[in-house]
Amino acid sequence: MTTFGLVTEGLTDQIVIENILSGYFNSDDIILNPLQPERNKDDENKSAYGGWYLVFQYCQSREFQESFQFNEYVIIQVDTDVSEDINYDIPKQDANGELTPEQLTEKVKEKFKFLIGDSFYEKYNHRIIFAISVHSIECWLLPLYYTDNKKAKITNCLKTLNQQINKIDKFTIDINNKNPKYYRTISQKYCNYKQLIKLYKYNPSFKIFIEEVQARNIVI
């Protein structure tokens, strides 16, 4: 079976990516190993503490390097909503104005290449898949609920998502206490291969992630 290690900001991000991969490969023959944050073995709705800073730290650790002994691919996910924070330190603008999702994604990848180290990255880059969500992974869920231009939004995505899930699914996501069960319910829709392939292209950074997976020509 093909194994994927997941290095993400949090548990809810892992859940979304797991369902996306399940739909993309349309197969149960994949193993998903949460590396950062670690999943609570007794409760699938709990995990260790996460955040973008811990993603950065993990990618500089021996544990990250050793994870390639047990995983064929490692997926690194981070949001860009706070990319201008200290230690993240990636501006959303340059002299020409607001960076496009494609430009911002490339800058974040360069940051990770630096954190990981040139020699190690050179050796293992074909087994690293970036999932850079601009500006949050909730943006990737919008195509499931919108058919207008809101499906391509990259700002205020949680608020926009909540407007529709409140109408359709009768719940809303609390930004300060994100319920993993809600993310599981929403992203489960991407487990359908046809649905995923139809919708992913509408959100720019989601499209970049799927194209990264496609570029690996992974055979399950």
How many whole angstroms separate alpha carbon 153 and alpha carbon 212?
A: 21
- What backbone torsions phi and psi does residue 31 show, to the nearest 5 degrees? -115, 130
What mean pLDDT, rounded, does the chain reach?
Answer: 96
Q: What is the pLDDT of residues 156-171, one digit of tens each?
A: 999 999 999 999 999 9
Straight-line distance from the first to the last Cα atom of the chain, in angstroms, rounded to the nearest whole number? 7
> What is the pLDDT confidence band of residue 49, given thresholds at 50, 70 and 90?
confident
pLDDT digits (tens, 9 = 90+) for 23-33: 999 987 899 99
Distance (Å, whole) CA 146 – CA 167: 12
Confidence of residue 150 (pLDDT cuts 50, 70, 90): very high
Query: The tokens 């390639």 sit on which residue?
Result: 68
Confidence of residue 48 (pLDDT cuts 50, 70, 90): confident
Dist. CA 76–CA 40, nearest whole Å: 20
pLDDT band for position 44 (50/70/90)?
Answer: confident
Q: Number of C-alpha atoms within 13 angstroms, CB side, residue 158?
A: 17
Q: How far is CA 14 from CA 44, 119, 149, 164, in A?
A: 11, 28, 26, 22
* Residue pLDDT, tens place only, 109-138: 999 999 999 999 999 999 999 999 999 999
Q: Which structure tokens are listed for 218? A: 């992974």
Q: Which of 160, 95, 92 is nearest to 132 (CA)?
A: 92
Q: Where are the alpha helices (DSSP H) in 48-156?
A: 52-58, 62-66, 101-116, 118-124
